[in-house]
C-alpha cells in the first residue's frame, strides 16, 4: 500500500490512484492510522483536522498566523531571599540555617576573596604565571556547594561528561547528583546544547549551574545571546529551570538544595541560572577597563556584593562584629600566605612525569622517548634549570 502511494506521488501521474489509496487507508485493518487507534475512536477521525496526532508535539491547532514573541524585556524573574541590606524579604523562604553553617558560608567566601587578592598580587610580582579571581561571584560557588552532599560529583565545565556521569550514577542507584558549572559564554557552545538535550532525554540527575556574570572575557551578554538569558533555554529542552540572584547566597543555596533533592528523587535535570557580576578582570592577562567603565564595576562592588550582603545578615543577627572581622582577616591572610609559601617551596614535577599517565601503561615508544630525554639531560643537564625540578 505504501509503495503504491509513493509510486503515485513520485510520478504525479495518478491522483486518482493516490486518493483511492487514502480512502483504503481509512478502513479498519488497513495499514496506517486505523491500526494505531482502537475501533471505538474511529468516529473522531471523520475529519482528520480535529486533533493533531503528530508524533513530534502535543499541541492544539491554531488558525491565526502568529509568531511567538520572545520576552526579553520582562524575562524570567530572579529568585532572591535577602535584599541588598541582608534582610530576609519573605520569611517563609528563610532557610533558617544554624549560626555555624552561615558562618562557614561567610568564612569560605571571605577566605576565597583573600586568596584571590594574594594570588592576583603574586602573579603581578611574577611569582606565579597566571590567575583568575572570583570577585563578585563568591555567592554562587559557596551557596551551591553548600547544598550538595560530600559524595556528589562536581564538573567545572565538561557539560556532556557531567551528563554521562549522572547517567552512570542513576544506574548505580548511587544517590548522587552531578553538578556542572559553566558561564553564560560557555552556554553558547554546542557542548551545552548537547548536555541539556542528553540530560533531558536520558533522564539524568544533574544540575546545570550557569554563572551569568555579564561578560565572557570582553564579550557582553548582548553579544552572546539575544534571548532571555540561559534560564529561558531550559524549557526548550524540557528542563525545569530557575533564575536566581547569584549575589544572594541563601537564594543560591535554596535553589540548589531543592534542585538536588528533586534531581535525585525524580531522575531529571535542573537548570539554575545565577545572575551575578564579574567584578574582577577575566584573568591576569586581561585589563577590563578596555571594554567597560570603572564606574560600572564600582557600582557592583559597592552596591551588590555577595559578601557584603551576607555580612549585613550576620551583623543584624549579632553573629558577627568588627573585632571578629579584623581577627578573621588576619587569620585568613596568614592561612593563605603559609599555604602559598609551602607551595612555592615545592620543586616542579620530575621531567619523567611528562611521559606517564598518557596511557594507563607506558607504551614502548614513550618509554624510549623518556630514556632519550634522560640520556640527553645526563650530557647537557647543565643547560637546564634542573635544580627547580623534583629529583
Partner 1 sequence: MAAVASAARWLFSLRAAGAERHWRRLCGAGLARGFLHPTVTGEDAAQRRQVAHFTFQPDPEPREYGQTQKMNLFQSITSALDNSLAKDPTAVIFGEDVAFGGVFRCTVGLRDKYGKDRVFNTPLCEQGIVGFGIGIAVTGATAIAEIQFADYIFPAFDQIVNEAAKYRYRSGDLFNCGSLTIRSPWGCVGHGALYHSQSPEAFFAHCPGIKVVIPRSPFQAKGLLLSCIEDKNPCIFFEPKILYRAAVEQVPVESYNIPLSQAEVIQEGSDVTLVAWGTQVHVIREVASMAKEKLGVSCEIIDLRTIIPWDVDTVCKSKESIL
Among 86, 136, 143, 164, binds partner 1 (CB under 8 A): 164
**Residue 373 engages partner 1 in binding (rule: CB under 8 A):** no
Stretch that binds partner 1, among 278-286, 336-344, 363-371, 374-382 (CB under 8 A): 363-371
**Residue 249 CB, nearest distance to partner 1 (Å)?**
29
Kindly state the cell numbers that stand for 251. Answer: 537564594
Q: Which residues contact 232 (CB under 8 A, 6 or more apart)?
A: 70, 75, 76, 241
d(CA 80, CA 59): 34
d(CA 300, CA 293): 12
- Nearer to partner 1 among residue 95 and residue 351 (C-beta): 351
Q: 96: which DSSP letter?
A: -
**Residue 264 CB, nearest distance to partner 1 (Å)?**
15
**Residue 153 engages partner 1 in binding (rule: CB under 8 A):** yes
Among 137, 152, 191, 245, binds partner 1 (CB under 8 A): 191
Stretch that binds partner 1, among 135-143, 198-206, 280-288, 334-342 (CB under 8 A): 198-206
Site residue total, partner 1 (CB under 8 A): 40
* Per-residue interface string for the shown chain with partner 1, residues 202-231, x marking contact by CB under 8 A: x-----------------------------
Tell me how far CA of residue 99 lies from CA of 94, 123, 150, 212, 311, in angstroms. 13, 36, 20, 29, 13
d(CA 247, CA 312): 13
Residues in the chain: 391
- Nearer to partner 1 among residue 170 and residue 309 (C-beta): 170
Among 33, 34, 154, 168, binds partner 1 (CB under 8 A): 168
**Residue 31 CB, nearest distance to partner 1 (Å)?**
12
* Per-residue interface string for the shown chain with partner 1, residues 306-345, x marking contact by CB under 8 A: ----------------------------------------
Tell me how far CA of residue 265 lies from CA of 160, 166, 172, 268, in angstroms. 21, 13, 14, 8
d(CA 162, CA 258): 19
d(CA 390, CA 384): 13
**Residue 237 CB, nearest distance to partner 1 (Å)?**
10
Kindly state the cell numbers that stand for 46. Answer: 471523520
173: phi > 0 → left, psi -120 to 50 → alpha, else beta; which?
A: left
Kindly state the cell numbers that stand for 253. Answer: 543555596
**Residue 23 engages partner 1 in binding (rule: CB under 8 A):** no
Contacts to partner 1 from residues 170-189, by CB under 8 A: 171-172
Contacts with partner 1 by CB under 8 A lie at 3-4, 7, 11, 153, 155, 158-169, 171-172, 190-191, 193-195, 197-198, 201-202, 353, 356-361, 363-366
Amino acid at each position: 500500500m505504501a509503495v503504491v502511494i509513493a509510486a503515485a506521488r513520485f510520478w504525479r501521474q495518478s491522483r486518482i490512484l493516490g486518493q483511492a489509496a487514502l480512502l483504503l487507508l481509512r478502513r479498519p485493518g488497513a495499514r496506517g492510522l486505523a491500526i494505531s487507534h482502537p475501533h471505538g475512536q474511529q468516529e473522531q477521525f471523520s475529519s482528520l483536522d480535529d486533533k493533531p496526532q503528530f508524533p513530534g508535539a502535543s499541541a492544539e491547532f491554531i488558525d491565526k498566523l502568529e509568531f511567538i514573541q520572545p520576552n526579553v524585556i520582562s524575562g524570567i524573574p530572579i529568585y532572591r531571599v535577602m535584599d541588598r541590606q541582608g534582610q530576609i524579604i519573605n520569611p517563609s523562604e528563610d532557610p533558617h540555617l544554624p549560626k555555624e553553617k552561615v558562618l562557614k558560608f561567610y568564612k569560605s567566601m571571605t577566605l576565597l576573596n583573600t586568596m584571590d587578592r594574594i594570588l592576583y598580587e603574586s602573579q603581578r610580582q611574577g611569582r606565579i604565571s597566571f590567575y583568575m579571581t572570583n570577585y563578585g561571584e563568591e555567592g554562587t560557588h559557596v551557596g551551591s556547594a553548600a547544598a550538595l552532599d560530600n559524595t556528589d560529583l562536581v564538573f567545572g565545565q565538561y557539560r556532556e561528561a557531567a551528563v554521562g556521569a549522572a547517567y552512570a550514577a542513576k544506574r548505580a542507584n548511587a544517590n548522587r547528583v552531578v553538578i556542572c558549572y559553566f558561564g553564560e559564554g560557555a552556554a553558547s557552545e554546542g557542548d551545552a546544547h548537547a548536555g541539556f538535550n542528553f540530560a533531558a532525554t536520558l533522564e539524568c540527575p544533574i544540575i546545570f549551574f550557569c554563572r551569568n556574570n555579564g561578560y565572557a572575557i570582553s564579550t557582553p551578554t548582548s553579544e552572546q545571546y539575544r534571548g532571555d538569558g540561559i534560564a529561558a533555554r531550559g524549557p526548550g529542552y524540557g528542563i525545569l529551570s530557575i533564575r536566581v540572584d547569584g549575589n544572594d547566597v541563601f537564594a543560591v543555596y535554596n535553589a540548589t538544595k531543592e534542585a538536588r533533592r528533586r534531581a535525585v528523587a525524580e531522575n531529571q535535570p535542573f537548570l539554575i541560572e545565577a545572575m551575578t557580576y564579574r567584578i574582577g578582570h577575566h584573568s591576569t592577562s586581561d585589563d577590563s577597563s578596555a571594554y567597560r567603565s570603572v564606574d560600572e564595576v564600582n557600582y557592583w562592588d559597592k552596591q551588590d556584593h555577595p559578601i557584603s550582603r551576607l555580612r549585613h545578615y550576620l551583623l543584624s543577627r549579632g553573629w558577627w562584629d568588627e573585632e571578629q572581622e579584623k581577627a578573621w582577616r588576619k587569620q585568613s591572610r596568614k592561612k593563605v600566605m603559609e599555604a602559598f609559601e609551602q607551595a612555592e617551596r615545592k620543586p616542579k614535577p620530575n621531567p619523567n612525569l611528562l611521559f606517564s599517565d598518557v596511557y594507563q601503561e607506558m607504551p614502548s615508544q614513550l618509554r624510549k622517548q623518556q630514556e632519550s630525554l634522560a640520556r640527553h639531560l645526563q650530557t647537557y643537564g647543565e643547560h637546564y634549570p634542573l635544580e627547580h625540578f623534583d629529583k
